[in-house]
Structure 1
Amino acid sequence: MLDKMKGGLIGFAVGDEMGVATEFMSPEEIKEQYGVVKEILSGGVFGFECGETSDDTAMTIAVAKGILANSTDPIEDIGKEFLKWKATNPKDIGITIATTFRHYHRDWFKAAELTHHRLEQSGGKALS
């Protein structure tokens, strides 16, 4: 099971690496600029280096670390990992988590609730 979990995380990261150069592009724009993407590319709106991952991978790893730290009640540990990631000054922070960080005052549930009402959704939302 652990190997499957590791494989899933690695596969996620590789898929993220494959997509960072085309993030926020339409299928038509991707086809016009790259044709079919068959390799890891650099660039994109955030100027990623070849092989660099986005906030999606960083946050997935933060969630995994939080669950490993406290599998019965991981919310605080996941939040701590999110704050550690934010402290690295990442190239991109999605609007949902950025809004949640602004609302966070030692209560992740309250911050998430305020974010949901502010953005009128609970899932990711592109800045574009």
Structure 2
Amino acid sequence: MIAKDILYDKVYGCLCGLALGDSMGMPTEFMTPEEIRKNFGYVDRLVAPSADHIHKDLGFGMITDDTELTLQIIDEILKFRTFNLDVAVAAIVNWAKQKDVFNKSYLGPSSAKAIKALLAGTAPHQAGKYGAT
């Protein structure tokens, strides 16, 4: 069995890597390799998104919904000491409310539709059924 302090360090490292990778990738999200090369060259450090990018409202080094939701799921797992569909739904709903996600530029149309359905009481298996992205 792995010691708690070692496990903690490994989980912490994974979450740091997630956040760093998210913030490094945020300015190039949805871009083709050619567009990335044209706008940034080779991305090997944090860069700011361009003025016409979907994440233009996020500043240099900022994270996206991917990291925010991952951290919310971790919070819910720690709170409930388990992970199942109910915990996942609670995480998504709590995150949406706390972060005011419908007023952020990074929430995609399929995610927005599914979260609105969850908030309206739609069963999780139906909420994201007709996503397009």
TM range (shorter): 0.7 to 0.9
1:66 aligned residue (67, 73, 76): 76
Aligned-pair CA distance for 1:20: 0.7
Unaligned runs of 5+ in 1: none
Change (3 A) 1:45 1:114: closer
- Once the two structures are superposed, residues 33-73 of structure 1 have per-residue CA deviations (whole angstroms, 9 ceiling, x without a partner) of 11101211112322120110011101111111111111335
Segments ≥4 residues shifted beyond 4 Å: none
Q: Is 1:10 paired with 2:16?
A: yes
What root-mean-square deviation, in Å, do the aligned CA atoms of Structure 1 and Structure 2 show?
2.1
Q: TM-score, normalised by structure 2?
A: 0.75
Aligned-pair CA distance for 1:74: 4.6
Change (3 A) 1:114 1:82: closer
Unaligned runs of 5+ in 2: 1-6
Aligned-pair CA distance for 1:77: 4.0
Q: Is 1:115 paired with 2:115?
A: no
Q: TM-score, normalised by structure 1?
A: 0.78
1:38 aligned residue (20, 38, 44): 44
Q: Is the 1:62–1:81 Cα contact (8 Å) retained in structure 2?
A: yes
Structure 2 residue matching 1:119: 3-state secondary structure: coil
Which amino acid letter does the alignment assign opposite residue 63 of structure 1? I
Calculate percent identity across the aligned residue pairs: 26
Q: Is the 2:115–2:127 Cα contact (8 Å) retained in structure 1?
A: no
Q: Is 1:94 paired with 2:111?
A: no
Number of equivalent positions: 118
Aligned-pair CA distance for 1:15: 0.2
Q: Following the alignment from structure 1 to structure 2, what is the Cα–Cα distance between the partners of residues 8 and 72?
A: 19
Q: Following the alignment from structure 1 to structure 2, what is the Cα–Cα distance between the partners of residues 94 and 64?
A: 22
Q: Following the alignment from structure 2 to structure 1, what is the Cα–Cα distance between the partners of residues 109 and 79?
A: 26
Which amino acid letter does the alignment assign opposite residue 73 of structure 2? V
Larger Rg: 2
Q: Is the 1:66–1:77 Cα contact (8 Å) retained in structure 2?
A: yes
